[in-house]
Amino acid sequence: MKFAIKRHLRPLLLPLTLLSASSAALADWSLSPESTLQFISTKNTNISEVHRFMSLSGSVSSEGKAKVEVDLTSVETGIPIRNERLQSMLFETPTYGTLTITSDLPNALLTALKQGEMVISTLPLTISLHGETVTTHADVLATTGRDGHVVVTSLGPVLVKADEFSLVKGIEALRDVAKLERISTTVPVTFTLLFAED
């Protein structure tokens, strides 16, 4: 299949959306369990490790309303005691158990994916974490796979800053208990999200 790359969703796609709406309605999509969301922690300035969350759920509506929910109790760092500390001391999962990410996808992007095209776009993101909500953006590559899945991959990390989510106190508590000199308060996050048509 020949793929065309549409950068920044050129206006040419917008009339196409209107023309196709009556003949090919866009369906709802659900997040597949193969999806991944990873983050990098850095301690003592130069020691970095990659961690991930094991439980994600989400959907994209036919109107382009996207929502991904991350179960913060599913954090996996490779060390059980560290998982527990992140849950209790940083995320405070009994009170704030879920990270929620929402976005409005342009109609032109949805139409391009329906036609099997590859799209590079900058998407607005609203991130709700630890009782705080922050608006940012992500550069993504979206494609339609041979199996019909829509795959949305971050082209670069989304930088999550602890002070924007009232997480600095928790990071300091983790630093103290682990007897570290420093833990970075800015965390790069990357993702690969697979959506299957309902």
Q: What is the CATH number of the domain that holds 172?
A: 2.40.128.110
Residue 133: alpha-carbon gap to chain centroid: 15
Shortest CA distance to 56 belongs to which of 64, 67, 68, 39? 68
Say if residue 149's pLDDT is above 90.
no
Say if residue 40's pLDDT is above 70.
yes
Percentage of the chain lying above the pLDDT 70 cut: 86
Shortest CA distance to 174 belongs to which of 45, 48, 84, 72? 84
Residue 18 within any structural domain of the chain: no
Residue 131 within any structural domain of the chain: yes
For residues 95-108, give the mean pLDDT: 94
Distance CA 103, CA 85 (A): 30
Residue 102 within any structural domain of the chain: yes
Residue 4 within any structural domain of the chain: no
**Greater model confidence, 177 or 15:** 177
Distance CA 102, CA 135 (A): 10
Q: Which residue has the tokens 């600095």?
A: 168
Say if residue 8's pLDDT is above 70.
no
The sign of the CA dihedral 21, 124, 54, 35 is positive
Q: Cα Rg for the chain, rounded, in angstroms? A: 19
Q: pLDDT, tens digit, for every residue of 68-98?
A: 999 999 999 999 999 999 999 999 999 999 9
Residue 22 within any structural domain of the chain: no
Please state whether beta strands 5-7 and 118-129 pair in parallel, antiparallel, or not at all (unpaired). parallel
Contacts 24+ apart (CB under 8 A), 134-137: 134/164, 134/165
Please state the domain count of the chain: 1
**In the chain, beta strands by DSSP E:** 5-7, 29-31, 36-43, 47-53, 56-60, 65-71, 75-76, 98-104, 118-129, 132-144, 150-154, 158-161, 186-197
Report for 9-13, 145-149, 170-174: range of highest mean pLDDT = 170-174
- Rounded mean pLDDT of the chain? 88
Domain that holds residue 158: 29-197
Distance CA 68, CA 66 (A): 7
Model confidence, pTM: 0.84
Residue 191 within any structural domain of the chain: yes
Residue 13 within any structural domain of the chain: no
CB contact at 8 A, 21 and 34:
no
Using CB atoms within 10 Å of the CB of residue 129, give its burial: 0 to 12 exposed, 13 to 18 middle, 19+ buried: buried
Residue 19 within any structural domain of the chain: no
